[in-house]
Amino acid sequence: MTIDSYKHIIDNHITPLIGNVKLCELTVMTVRRLLDIKLEKKLSSRTVRYIYTVLNAMVKQAAKDELIGKNVVSKVQKPKLVKTHEMVTLSATEVKKILSVIKNEEHHAFFKLAFASGLRRSELLGLAWSNVDFKKQTITVEQTVIRTGNDIILSKSTKNASSKRSIKVDTETDGRVKEALYKHQKANVIDI
């Protein structure tokens, strides 16, 4: 998580419901109710776990700083991570059909890369010229684009440590992507 994502969790999920509760008056039941409300609003279990993690860190620090006697959040069980949906994959025929209707060369190359690499949307949008190695036919994932509230920011990290990786791109995909990138580079006068 980044500073911006912490701020987003605090501003949008914690403060609206318990921002008026004094730390010394925060109870186990209040924390449980906050998490239950968020789950009832159909937030993903992952987001509710983030809310728990951020709230726990804040209250833990307040206890360390002796602003309160104990961390009541730590007495509440962290919500379980529930897989809410199965990943939907496209067949080769469906991918070809989608690509066949994309007329813009840059968009076509972008979607071809997306389909061939399996990169997340945030990872694709976070790619920089320095991430593309045409000689080795690899793309290195080092950063992502994330949305926090109404802002979209470039995060110099990935979702988790294992997400930082290099991906080999097949010759056909590499050729189309390389061609589109060079055209894009030339049109925008960008050095790679």
- The pLDDT averaged over each successive group of 10 residues in the chain (192 residues) is 80 95 95 95 89 96 95 94 77 92 85 83 82 81 76 71 75 64 56 39
What is the predicted pLDDT for the residue at 56? 97
Q: Are 125 and 192 in contact (CB under 8 A)?
A: no
Cβ neighbours, 10 Å, residue 19: 9
Q: Are 17 and 34 in contact (CB under 8 A)?
A: yes
What is the predicted pLDDT for the residue at 190? 39
Q: Which domains does the chain have, with CATH numbers?
A: 3-75 (1.10.150.130), 92-188 (1.10.443.10)
